[in-house]
Amino acid sequence: MKKIAVILSGSGVFDGTEIHEAVLALLAIEQQGASWHCFAPNIDQHHVINHINGEVSHEIRNVLVESARIARGNISDVSQLNINDYDALLVPGGFGVAKNLSDFALHGSACQINEDVKQACQAFAQANKPAAYLCIAPTLIPQIYGPGAKATIGNDPDTAAAFNTMGGEHVLCPVDDFVLDQKRRLLTTPAYMLATNISEAAIGINKLVQELIKLA
């Protein structure tokens, strides 16, 4: 059975992992006959957003603890991720990628990635193991794979421009498809960068996961 490591960034689209993307990906992994285990950094969130009104809530939450809600406790600190135990990597989107796993939401193309997350992702890249990044998560790719990595965030011009500025090669992609950088065994799909509902997000995610498991 293929084993997939999944890196989460909290729980909730505006300050953590996009929950629909995460659940769709975990379901697709299981439906392809593989297993998953989740990881997240053991750090405080950048901030907490009230998902009813979009306002900042003045409280402190931990990314690993919040991510455990999605994983139903099947989760570990990303610093403990041993790539020898896994065949592939998957990173769902959500603003937590750009606020907790990195500071892309604050600094754009000048962003930095959390060191533990960066080391884990780079380990998969260096071992030539396949990896998949959904939605806004591909903004991590240029710092992980270096210049020339091909990926998509859909068609948002500002995010695509920042991706290219960081050294990546952005590829336009519809919500129901994915982009494969064959050389790097790297897959990306727009998901909720373009999706207007769960069903639309599911089409691209299912195709991506199916290919990810094949590559693994």
The catalytic residues are 135
Q: Left if phi > 0, otherwise alpha if psi is -120 to 50, otherwise beta: which for 27?
A: alpha
For 35-50, b/e burial (b = at least 16 CB within 10 A) is ebebbbbbbebbebbe
Helix (H) or strand (E) holding 196: none
Closest to 70 measured CA to CA, from 101, 104, 93, 103: 93
Closest to 139 measured CA to CA, from 176, 99, 173: 99
The separation between CA 191 and the C-alpha centre of its own chain, rounded to angstroms, equals 11
C-beta of residue 68 within 8 angstroms of C-beta of residue 75? yes
